[in-house]
Structure 1
Amino acid sequence: MAKGKLSFTDIDVTVTVPAGTRVIEVSEKVGAGIIYGCREGDCGTCLMKVEGGMEYLSEPTALEDKVLKENMAGKDMRCACQAQVLGDGEVKVHPA
């Protein structure tokens, strides 16, 4: 199974995760500052900034895209509850 690296720059922690892992799942486990409300991609509280490795994240779903637009998020922003690590690279994130 493919694996990728996920770095939380707010707490300076990098972990290796299996492909398909949602960012919010790891954030909770390592104590990063990304918060969440619904975990369903509908509220926008888990917005995060992707500092690098956007190409190693899943494409936004239609629902996530809608939430990103409603929150006027920049192109470097994603919802941590929806973004999945694809593997084969490193993704660097921090809370929005």
Structure 2
Amino acid sequence: MPKAKVTFEDVGVTITVPAGTRLIEISELVGAGIVYGCREGECGTCLTRIISGHAYLDQPSVLEDQVLKEHLAPRHHRLACQAQVLGGEIVVKPI
């Protein structure tokens, strides 16, 4: 099974996880500062900046894409409750 290496800039922690894991789950494991409300991709609270490795995340769903647009999210930002890692190395920074 493919693995991904995810680094959270806010806490300076890197962890290797299986592909398919959502960023919010990884954040909870390492104690990173991603705040969330619904965990369903509707509230936009868990908006997170992808510093590098955005190509190693799955594509946003129609719902996530809509919420990102509603919140005027800049390029390379994702909802941590929706974004799944696919492999490679990813660096994120909670906002």
Query: TM-score, length-normalised on structure 2?
Result: 0.98
Aligned to 2:16: 16
How far apart, in 2, do the equivalents of 1:9 and 1:95 lie? Answer: 8
SS at structure 1 position matched to 2:14: strand
How far apart, in 1, do the equivalents of 2:75 and 2:66 lie? Answer: 13
Aligned to 2:41: 41
CA RMSD of aligned residues (A): 0.5
Aligned to 1:90: 89
How far apart, in 2, do the equivalents of 1:22 and 1:52 lie? Answer: 16
4+ residue segments displaced more than 4 Å: none
> How far does residue 17 in structure 1 lie from its aligned partner after superposition?
0.5
> How far does residue 12 in structure 1 lie from its aligned partner after superposition?
0.4
SS at structure 2 position matched to 1:84: coil
> How far does residue 29 in structure 1 lie from its aligned partner after superposition?
1.4
Cα shift readout 1:25-55 (whole Å, capped 9, x = no counterpart): 0101111001100000000000000000000
Structure 1 unaligned spans of 5+: none
Q: How many residues align?
A: 95
> How far does residue 75 in structure 1 lie from its aligned partner after superposition?
1.1
Amino acid in the other structure paired with 1:54: H
Amino acid in the other structure paired with 2:18: P
Aligned to 1:77: 77
Amino acid in the other structure paired with 1:94: K
Query: TM-score, length-normalised on structure 1?
Result: 0.97
Structure 2 unaligned spans of 5+: none
> How far does residue 91 in structure 1 lie from its aligned partner after superposition?
0.6
How far apart, in 2, do the equivalents of 1:62 and 1:93 lie? Answer: 22
Once the two structures are aligned, what percentage of the paired residues are identical? 62
